[in-house]
Amino acid sequence: MVTEEEALNILEEQSQMPPQENSMSSQAYSNISGDQGNLIQWQLELDNILERIENLLRGNVLTDDGKGNIDFRPPEDKSLVILNEYGVQLIMNFISFYMNRNTILSNYREERIYEILRSVGHTLSDVFYINYEKMGLDCVEKRSRYPLLVESILNVVESAYNRALHGEERDSLRKARIVNQTQSLGPAIPQGGHGSGFSSLNPFKRFAGA
């Protein structure tokens, strides 16, 4: 079984590798037992975020099936669907280059984050402008919503990079490891043995041997 420290070291090392080479990271933190492993998994697992983004790009809406199950489903109002399948996959592929563990476990300066966001914004605008018909923006109503899509995507990318601001995400994992290691040592035992703190205050102890 991989220890917590070993798993975190693996995650940090593989955060510097291309996505196709860091598949072991999921196995690393999945082998950590207990709540600490769940915390690490929750911090580093981005699949649920990407899944939510894809559903929103498809125009899917959260609905209740009447049995307490809430899930994304295609909308009854088809005007909510802005992109076609090609458009959704093109944007998801683009986002995936930024929304990954390599990003959140990196160390970025604030100025560099602004530079990246500026570049992302320009690139997205160009992609929509050049490929709008192929992406499903085939009417004025749909084309009028493309700024909304660009802004929403930029906010998602910004959130990912802010987690890497000054390496704070990586530092938070290190701090969690230190706290967990400290707690695993157990409570400190007072010197002098059990109960020594109040035994001298017992007035009847003086007569115990009488």
Query: In this predicted model, what pLDDT tens digit does every residue of 119-134 receive, in sequence order?
Result: 999 999 999 999 999 9
How far is residue 96's CA from residue 46's CA, in Å, rounded to a whole number?
10
pLDDT of residue 201: 44
Under a CB-based contact definition with an 8 Å cutoff, are residues 136 and 87 in contact?
A: yes
Q: Are 81 and 127 found together in one domain?
A: yes
Q: Which residue has the higher pLDDT, 195 or 109?
A: 109
Q: Is residue 122 part of a domain?
A: yes
Please tell me the total count of domains within the chain.
Answer: 2
Q: How far is CA 140 from CA 22, 133, 190, in A?
A: 43, 11, 76
Alpha helices per DSSP H over 70-194: 85-96, 101-104, 110-131, 140-143, 146-162, 168-184
Q: What is the mean pLDDT of the chain?
A: 77
Q: Are 91 and 4 found together in one domain?
A: no
